[in-house]
Amino acid sequence: MLKAAALALERFPDVNATFRDDRILRFNPINIALAVDVQGELVAPVVKDCQGRDIDDLAGAADALIRKAREKKLSPEDYSDGTFTISNLGMFGVDDFYAIITPPQSCVLSVGAMRQVPVLEGDTVRPGTRIKLGLGVDHRVLDGAKAAQFLDGLRDLLEHPDALLNSGAAHGS
């Protein structure tokens, strides 16, 4: 999800923005906060500079931050400069929910549980997997049409995971 969101934010830079001093400012770089449950407390450490990074690099960075969070070893730097948040309650079996935007960010992605469901293709029913995504937005920054385009782009990336595996070079290269 982190890689898909990073790619979608690269493709839809208006989503990676804020409203400040009566104007819209785009963030650069893409810094994605991950909501993490730590013994009943929600924290959101930030994976920095997500643009252009490959999936393994992003996964390693996220794992390291989540481990630090669970060990209660996060520093203020680990929380700073988020430009977009992913909140996943799907791991708790929650199908859909409304995540809360963290200012100065203007968007938060809500990720529900993955469910196995029957999928109808023509006259054939086959097993499929579905996940509900939601996007909370600050309408001063992003209207519903642009939010829908971002979600559609994210859906397309998730439905075609080869795009996630074949994009991005190793960070720092």
Active site amino acids = 139
Task: Kindly report the backbone phi and psi dihedral angles of residue 33, in degrees, each rounded to the nearest multiple of 5, phi listed first.
Answer: -85, 140
CA distances from 152 to 16, 70, 109, 161, 164 (A): 16, 33, 13, 14, 15
Closest to 83 in 3D by CA, of 34, 149, 156? 34
